A and B are shown apart, each in its own frame.
Chain A
């Protein structure tokens, strides 16, 4: 029979080997999927690689695609580290973009140096408030955060749909597309490279990752977050206000998700529309988990997934493989990574039953 026993820690070589294996198995399973759908594996993966890393422009474009994923990945890391299973990244990202847009309506001809910080701040307040609401429901009414965040995701999506389709924010003459008019140039996030839309959101995301790392590793709040995951009761006995910690974590997570919305709407699309953000919050959950709930790991995972997302556009043009392969691949990769994390945490051994 197979027995599983917990072990204290595996060496980093074993961990690395487990995760590389998970990556290979994930790509292997994806190759099977492509074959099953009747397309050519080498052609598909070739185009995927070409689109993601094939040229300098492709690489920069992959960084652009990775930017919102770093934010939603970090939002996941902060919440999950505290064992708060928030799935609200998607809704909080939408809420952030919506609040940022709302603020921009009052900014008129303000120069970008004033307008952009206000937009970012408004978005963070909006996303943070939505996250905080779920934290409040959890601490005050013991409403499970998974349920509240999922339900509020749907509520926010319908709210945006109302605002853009016939509501007050609908663009003149765009009945078929649900979107606002294009923003004034002073609301665009400044670009770092002229030819590709690599905007200040990317360095901001890296900075956010560094801040998250410092918070988790070096501050009293970080200690509380980590302890919340291990043993909330002991934390309470130490005199820590657990309710407050949960609220802070949820607000922080919501504010980070909101930045993903700002980055996508004000950095890339220059108009508010829902479909361009759809899925970035959920992918952030995968990014955070595959990154081992570590801010640096989340950045690496986000870069990988940004490249996948960017490469898939190229792939869908060059081969018969639908771009919807990418979310399927992400899901498969996640399940393999989760299994690999078990291999790291437990030692599995096959024990022959002893016959007497």
Chain B
């Protein structure tokens, strides 16, 4: 156990946690905006999985991370559109739609991957590199943690204040929130609830798929079934535990990412506790976090309630 607390190992755990946090944070921010519009999107895990597979296919074929990220985001848009048709237009229950979508994603990605590989050895690629910020990355302790990360990690953390600003200060952000709080009001002003919900879903799903693409490109050189491993669900928990606020959601994400990183390092260091118990940590923590944080004051009033025009 004490091996994990050695200074260099602890540094390594925290530095790696920032990368894991990027994956969950992108999805959580996307889900936050989506939920604020009143759509309880339970298809995060599936959307992330599609992002993973698409990023893998593009990386294996072209080796271009930029292209992989873009195509993955496009797959996120498609996922958001499908979920939107089901929940916003057809008004199928949000939970049921999400469950159905996740099961579809789990099956479809596996099918595509197997068809692509065709019984042979799956092609790999080299994972993307960090992008150290000049000068700042040389600062002891803080430098490696904050400034020797992937470009997308910087982008993900910088988007926290931007999304907070969007939801609080911009007209469209306020209208998006109104769709989740009081859709009748929005409709009475002659504004479309459906448009705001669709745009929130498309934005959120594209961000989630980008998170999946990052997971693939930064951490794995090969796709495997259900590689997202519940990180989409952790994103949903982070939003609830963060009481639908961007900064608090980010804090919840950092807790999960730290535990995730501890689990990975515990395997490497050779602690005498079986590694499976470390792997359970983020999932157990998520339940404990929800038990402890019971405030639901930030929950949009009409979250998960299909809106029917009168």
Are the C-beta atoms of A143 and B287 separated by less than 8 Å?
A: yes
Cα distance A38–B294 in the bound complex, in angstroms: 51
Are the C-beta atoms of B236 and A334 separated by less than 8 Å?
A: no
Could you tell me how many residues of chain A have their Cβ less than 8 Å away from some Cβ of chain B? Answer: 51
Are the C-beta atoms of A142 and B296 separated by less than 8 Å?
A: yes
Write the chain B residue with the least CB distance to A154: B283
B203 at the interface (CB under 8 A from A): no
Are the C-beta atoms of B103 and A330 separated by less than 8 Å?
A: yes
Residues of A within 8 A of B161 (CB): none
B240 at the interface (CB under 8 A from A): yes
B25 at the interface (CB under 8 A from A): no
Residues of B within 8 A of A286 (CB): 100, 103
Residues of B within 8 A of A155 (CB): 280, 283-284
Cα distance A327–B277 in the bound complex, in angstroms: 29
Of B110-118, B140-148, B178-186, the one touching chain A: B110-118
Are the C-beta atoms of A158 and B108 separated by less than 8 Å?
A: no
For the complex formed, measure the closest distance between the CB of A35 and the CB atoms of chain B, giving whole angstroms.
11
Residues of A within 8 A of B115 (CB): 37-38, 322
Are the C-beta atoms of A324 and B114 separated by less than 8 Å?
A: yes
Are the C-beta atoms of B99 and A158 separated by less than 8 Å?
A: no
Are the C-beta atoms of A282 and B276 separated by less than 8 Å?
A: no
B291 at the interface (CB under 8 A from A): yes
A23-82 at interface with B (beta carbon < 8 Å): 33, 37-38
B230 at the interface (CB under 8 A from A): yes
Cα distance A117–B276 in the bound complex, in angstroms: 32
Residues of A within 8 A of B122 (CB): none
Of B9-17, B87-95, B130-138, B151-159, the one touching chain A: B87-95
Residues of A within 8 A of B92 (CB): 338-339, 341-342
A242 at the interface (CB under 8 A from B): no
Are the C-beta atoms of A322 and B114 separated by less than 8 Å?
A: yes
For the complex formed, measure the closest distance between the CB of A254 and the CB atoms of chain B, giving whole angstroms.
16
Residues of A within 8 A of B91 (CB): 4, 342, 346
Are the C-beta atoms of A150 and B233 separated by less than 8 Å?
A: yes
For the complex formed, measure the closest distance between the CB of A317 and the CB atoms of chain B, giving whole angstroms.
13
For the complex formed, measure the closest distance between the CB of A193 and the CB atoms of chain B, giving whole angstroms.
31
Cα distance A322–B122 in the bound complex, in angstroms: 15
For the complex formed, measure the closest distance between the CB of B90 and the CB atoms of chain A, giving whole angstroms.
5
Write the chain B residue with the least CB distance to A145: B95
Residues of B within 8 A of A151 (CB): 230, 233, 237, 283-284, 286-287
Of A160-168, A184-192, A207-215, the one touching chain B: A160-168
User: Quick one: given A37-B115, A141-B291, A147-B233, are A331 and B106 in contact (CB under 8 Å)?
Assistant: yes
Residues of B within 8 A of A165 (CB): 276
Cα distance A222–B26 in the bound complex, in angstroms: 43
Which residue, of B229, B283, B290, has the highest number of chain A Cβ atoms within 10 A? Answer: B283
Cα distance A286–B286 in the bound complex, in angstroms: 26
Cα distance A143–B274 in the bound complex, in angstroms: 28
Cα distance A356–B189 in the bound complex, in angstroms: 22
A280-315 at interface with B (beta carbon < 8 Å): 282, 285-286, 289
Are the C-beta atoms of A158 and B276 separated by less than 8 Å?
A: yes
Q: Mark B263-289, 1 if CB is under 8 A from A, else 0.
A: 000000000001011011001101100
B42-67 at interface with A (beta carbon < 8 Å): 42
A181 at the interface (CB under 8 A from B): no
B5 at the interface (CB under 8 A from A): no
For the complex formed, measure the closest distance between the CB of B228 and the CB atoms of chain A, giving whole angstroms.
12
Cα distance A151–B97 in the bound complex, in angstroms: 19
Are the C-beta atoms of A150 and B287 separated by less than 8 Å?
A: no
Cα distance A335–B93 in the bound complex, in angstroms: 12
For the complex formed, measure the closest distance between the CB of B210 and the CB atoms of chain A, giving whole angstroms.
22
Are the C-beta atoms of B100 and A143 separated by less than 8 Å?
A: no
B107 at the interface (CB under 8 A from A): yes
A171 at the interface (CB under 8 A from B): no
Are the C-beta atoms of B296 and A33 separated by less than 8 Å?
A: no
Residue from the list B107, B229, B287, B291 in contact with A324, Cβ < 8 A: B107
Cα distance A150–B233 in the bound complex, in angstroms: 8
A325 at the interface (CB under 8 A from B): yes
Are the C-beta atoms of B286 and A147 separated by less than 8 Å?
A: yes
B101 at the interface (CB under 8 A from A): yes
A152 at the interface (CB under 8 A from B): yes
Are the C-beta atoms of A338 and B86 separated by less than 8 Å?
A: yes
Write the chain B residue with the least CB distance to A39: B115
B234-280 at interface with A (beta carbon < 8 Å): 236-237, 240, 274, 276-277, 279-280
Interface of A toward B, CB cutoff 8 Å: 2-4, 6, 33, 37-38, 85, 87, 137, 141-144, 146-148, 150-152, 154-155, 158-159, 161-162, 165-167, 282, 285-286, 289, 320, 322, 324-332, 334-335, 338-339, 341-342, 346
What 3 A-B pairs are tightest by C-beta distance, nearest first? A331-B104, A327-B107, A322-B114
16 A/B residue pairs, CB under 8 Å, sorted by A: A4-B89, A85-B99, A137-B290, A146-B42, A147-B287, A150-B230, A151-B284, A155-B283, A167-B274, A285-B103, A324-B114, A328-B104, A328-B111, A331-B108, A338-B92, A339-B92
Interface of B toward A, CB cutoff 8 Å: 42, 82, 86, 89-92, 95-97, 99-101, 103-108, 110-115, 118, 229-230, 233, 236-237, 240, 274, 276-277, 279-280, 283-284, 286-287, 290-291, 294, 296, 308-309
